[in-house]
């Protein structure tokens, strides 16, 4: 799974995080190191879609939170992925 | 590297920078930047520029505008009609000892005829023909009209059809002009010129054979250059701004033919003509007054070497029994450039008569010219290619649209931020 938008949504699923925290989190759970351009490209797209929102902060490290529609989108995507994973594993076993 | 990474963020749209650059700055402060970070930022920035909505809109709008402007521009351009005739050249005697892979006598004959037909004298005669009066409203000198006409003429050596007998080949004579009748008449005049030149050439060959010696004929006399040759390109024009550092140089040239001669003979003649004695006489000629400034400060030997650098002798084509070559001279005064080329031409002829006047020449193959296809009367203009020009305009518009879109977004003031507001 290397879609940065999905990785960002997954990272924000357990609570709000700023950019650097998201980078570290994604590297930990997915083993993918996102560059700042890729990360903020994904944040921009997600924010425009209304799937995440910036949280007011006085710090330059602005946190982001997942919105209910973002949560729904993530669930939908993960369910699709789960189906793919399940099918793939099952076919590997019977091959 | 952090500074470079911040600089690369200029690639992003201004609106985006106004909204996110502080956050990315803070992120870079936490992570530090390396080459990979910079590349990642650059890639994402360019992608963002091209994915924003106004880019395709602007590109399409300017593309359409370019299409319309290109179309309008092409309509303003005068139409050019192209007339074409096909001629056949046949050698009356084929030399079987010569292998065609090494030497194609037909190509040589056509090239020689073409050089003579496209000479200043022949073209000037056609231009001034009272029935044609070509380029009369262009407000240019005869020399300029001749040069323009050379560009409008094409001689295409076409593959000989299988029906032609051995030793024959065909070539097209093509001319483009705004008046279709004149285009046709000019092609007819060029065909007549081919026949005249061919007949004169054969008569001269017979007389040269009787004389039993090599001889130099002037195919194209020394030209009077209109513009300095080192000012014709953009770089030349720029160097012209530097004035005396790069003085203007005019190049005059003449085309000569050494009949019954070889390239080695031309080489020997060149050595004689460019000898120290000969050039020294030319430099000291009071009528020419060459290199006056240089002679005040430099020795004569060095001036002669300088002059040698300004003289060009180039072989155009070598045949079994004759050689075409050009003699050119570069000088800041165009009249003197021409006079020197005339003097060099005379010297070549004199040197030839002194050095190679005894050897008997081989008989030369004659040639017959006839018309395979008469000059066509064009019905539709061949130029300008209006569709192509309009499409080029459209493409240019799209490229311009992309550039304007990028530049515009880089310069939009941060006040116009339309991204989602920040909620608490």
**Complex ipTM, two decimals?**
0.89
Helix, strand, coil percentages in chain B from 3-state DSSP, rounded to 5: 55, 15, 30
The tens digit of pLDDT for each residue in A34-89 reads 999 999 999 999 999 999 999 988 888 899 999 999 999 999 999 999 999 999 99
Q: Is B26 on the interface with A (CB under 8 A)?
A: yes
Do the Cβ atoms of B45 and A37 come within 8 Å? yes
Q: Are B64 and B8 in a shared domain?
A: yes
Q: Are B160 and B128 in a shared domain?
A: yes
For residue B137, what are the contacts with CB-CB under 8 A and spacing of at least 6? Answer: none
Q: Are B198 and B262 in a shared domain?
A: no
- B423 domain-assigned: no
Q: Are B190 and B308 in a shared domain?
A: no
CA B228 to the chain's CA centroid: 15
Would you say the C-alpha torsion B230, B120, B124, B346 has a positive or negative sign? positive
What is the least distance, in Å, from the CA of B55 to any CA of chain A?
17
Q: What is the pLDDT of residue A67?
A: 95
Total tally of structural domains belonging to chain A: 1
Q: How far is CA B32 from CA A6, A20, A34, A53, B40, in A?
A: 25, 11, 13, 26, 13
Q: Are B321 and B342 in a shared domain?
A: yes
Do the Cβ atoms of A35 and B47 come within 8 Å? no
- B266 domain-assigned: yes
For the domain that residue A22 is a member of, what is the CATH number? 1.10.10.10
Nearest CA to B139 out of B148, B130, B126, B152 is that of: B148
- B395 domain-assigned: yes
Of residues B46 and A10, the one with the higher pLDDT is A10
DSSP A3: -
DSSP B80: B
- B207 domain-assigned: yes
Do the Cβ atoms of A36 and B422 come within 8 Å? no
Q: How far is CA B404 from CA B25, B163, B399, in A?
A: 27, 59, 9
For the domain that residue B245 is a member of, what is the CATH number? 3.30.1890
Do the Cβ atoms of A44 and B26 come within 8 Å? no
Nearest CA to B316 out of B158, B108, B117 is that of: B108
Q: What is the pLDDT of residue B195?
A: 82
Report the residue of B1, B20, B22, B421 to disrupt the A interface, i.e. the one with the largest count of A CBs within 10 Å: B20
What is the C-alpha to C-alpha distance for residues B152 and B175, in angstroms, rounded to an integer? 6
What is the least distance, in Å, from the CA of B21 to any CA of chain A?
10
Do the Cβ atoms of A61 and B44 come within 8 Å? no
Q: Are B188 and B232 in a shared domain?
A: no
Structural domain for B36, as ranges:
2-74+385-411
| Tokens encoding B246 | 């790069």
Residues of A in contact with B26 (CB under 8 A): 18-20, 59-61
Q: How far is CA B411 from CA B179, B339, B399, B400, in A?
A: 51, 60, 19, 16
Q: Are B27 and B115 in a shared domain?
A: no
Q: Are B248 and B180 in a shared domain?
A: no
Which among B25, B26, B40 has CB closest to A37?
Answer: B40
What is the C-alpha to C-alpha distance for residues B112 and B220, in angstroms, rounded to an integer? 12
Total tally of structural domains belonging to chain B: 3
Q: Are B365 and B341 in a shared domain?
A: no
What is the C-alpha to C-alpha distance for residues B337 and B311, in angstroms, rounded to an integer? 10
Structural domain for A60, as ranges:
4-94
Q: Are B327 and B207 in a shared domain?
A: no
Q: Are B320 and B269 in a shared domain?
A: yes
Q: Are B139 and B119 in a shared domain?
A: yes
Give the count of Cβ contacts less than 8 A between chain A and B.
77
Q: What is the pLDDT of residue A69?
A: 95
Q: Which residues does chain B have with pLDDT short of 70? A: 50-56, 91-109, 159-167, 201-214, 230-246, 317-321, 357-372, 407-424
């Amino acid at each position: 799974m290397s879609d940065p938008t999905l990785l960002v949504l997954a990272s924000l699923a357990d609570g709000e995080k700023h950019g650097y925290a998201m980078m570290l989190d994604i590297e930990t759970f997915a083993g993918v190191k996102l560059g700042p351009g890729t990360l903020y490209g994904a944040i921009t797209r997600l924010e425009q879609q209304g799937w995440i929102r910036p949280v007011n902060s006085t710090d330059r490290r602005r946190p982001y939170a997942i919105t209910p529609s973002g949560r729904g989108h993530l669930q939908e995507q993960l369910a699709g992925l789960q189906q793919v994973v399940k099918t793939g594993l099952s076919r590997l076993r019977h091959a | 590297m952090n500074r470079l990474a911040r600089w690369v963020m200029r690639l992003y749209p201004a609106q985006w920078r106004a909204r996110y650059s502080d956050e990315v700055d803070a992120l870079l402060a936490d992570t530090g930047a390396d080459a990979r970070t910079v590349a990642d930022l650059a890639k994402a920035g360019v992608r963002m520029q091209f994915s924003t909505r106004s880019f395709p809109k602007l590109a399409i709008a300017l593309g359409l505008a370019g299409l319309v402007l290109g179309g309008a521009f092409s309509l303003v351009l005068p139409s050019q009609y192209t007339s074409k005739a096909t001629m056949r050249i046949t050698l009356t005697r084929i030399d079987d000892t010569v292998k065609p892979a090494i030497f194609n006598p037909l190509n040589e004959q056509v090239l020689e005829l073409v050089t003579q037909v496209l000479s200043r004298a022949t073209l000037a005669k056609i231009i001034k023909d009272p029935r044609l009066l070509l380029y009369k409203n262009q407000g240019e000198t005869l020399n300029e009209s001749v040069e323009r006409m050379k560009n409008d003429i094409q001689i295409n050596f076409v593959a000989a059809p299988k029906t032609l007998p051995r030793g024959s080949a065909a070539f097209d004579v093509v001319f483009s002009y705004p008046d279709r009748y004149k285009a046709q008449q000019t092609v007819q005049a060029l065909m007549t010129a081919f026949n005249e030149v061919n007949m004169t050439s054969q008569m001269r060959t017979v007389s040269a054979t009787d004389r039993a010696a090599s001889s130099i004929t002037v195919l194209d006399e020394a030209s009077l250059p209109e513009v300095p040759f080192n000012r014709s390109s953009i770089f030349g024009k720029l160097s012209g701004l530097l004035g005396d550092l790069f003085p203007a140089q005019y190049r005059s040239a003449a085309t000569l033919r050494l009949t019954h001669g070889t390239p080695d003979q031309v080489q020997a003649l060149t050595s004689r003509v460019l000898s120290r004695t000969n050039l020294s006489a030319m430099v000291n000629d009071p009528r020419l007054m060459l290199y006056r400034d240089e002679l005040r400060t430099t020795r004569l030997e060095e001036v002669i070497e300088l002059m040698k650098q300004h003289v060009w002798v180039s072989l155009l084509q070598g045949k079994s029994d004759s050689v075409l070559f050009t003699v050119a001279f570069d000088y800041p005064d165009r009249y003197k450039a021409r006079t020197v080329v005339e003097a060099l031409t005379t010297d070549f002829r004199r040197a030839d008569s002194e050095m190679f006047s005894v050897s008997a020449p081989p008989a030369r193959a004659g040639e017959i010219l006839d018309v395979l296809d008469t000059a066509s009367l064009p019905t539709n203009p061949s130029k300008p290619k209006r569709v192509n020009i309009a499409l080029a305009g459209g493409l240019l518009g799209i490229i311009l649209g992309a550039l304007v879109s990028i530049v515009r977004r880089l310069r939009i003031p941060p006040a116009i931020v339309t991204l989602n507001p920040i909620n608490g």
